[in-house]
Amino acid sequence: MHCPKCAIDLNDDVPKCPSCGFCIDDLNADLGTPKEKTGLIMDWAGVISDDAKQKLNGRLQHFATRTGSEFLIATIQTTTPRLPSEYVFWLLNRWQVGGPTHSGLLLLLALQERRIEVEVGYSLERFVTDDAATLILQNHAVPFLKAGDVDGGLFHASDVLARIVEEGLDEEKKS
């Protein structure tokens, strides 16, 4: 887990960022209690088509079966009063995506902010660094989103992210 502002490592022993003072408790104060996790896809903004939802759900389920990790997707109208990067960090933590070792990913689309963010749990960061995740979203989600294709953007970005983790785990098993 990293500080969403300065990318310094945060964990249970170091819950407060030594650089900027960011602390997850501050987010709780602003954001309250998260909405319930009801499945693999929480389309709160109502922007994913039914067909795409089915296809995405299949992809995320395949990922879960193959890796034992968890990959969730959420869409939201706005993350106000916080940044999307802070919101996705907070939600991954509050939901305990991927269990206590944070073996999971959470992809978040914030409509009003026009931002797509992914938070990678710390036990998967060896496969997908923050920088790599940013690049993947820029290359595999943003072009679709700019063209108004939310379904395509979410599917391609999550497919690439899932594949990197799947192949990384396979490689580790081999060695």
Residues that bind Zn ion (CB under 5 A): 3, 5-6, 17, 19-20, 22
What burial class does residue 133 get, using C-beta atoms within 10 Å of its C-beta: 0-12 exposed, 13-18 middle, 19+ buried?
A: buried
For residues 14 and 135, which CB has a smaller minimum distance to Zn ion in the complex? 14
The least CB distance from residue 4 to Zn ion, in Å, is 8
The least CB distance from residue 20 to Zn ion, in Å, is 3
The least CB distance from residue 9 to Zn ion, in Å, is 10
Cβ neighbours for 133, distance < 8 A, ≥ 6 positions apart: 118, 120, 161
For residues 20 and 147, which CB has a smaller minimum distance to Zn ion in the complex? 20
The 3-class secondary structure across 29-84, one letter per residue, is: HHHCCCCCCCCCEEECCCCCCHHHHHHHHHHHHHHHHHHCCEEEEEEECCCCCCCH
For residues 24 and 161, which CB has a smaller minimum distance to Zn ion in the complex? 24
Cβ atoms of 60 and 151 closer than 8 Å: no
The least CB distance from residue 22 to Zn ion, in Å, is 4
Q: How much is the CA Rg of the chain, to the nearest whole Å?
A: 15
For residues 5 and 55, which CB has a smaller minimum distance to Zn ion in the complex? 5
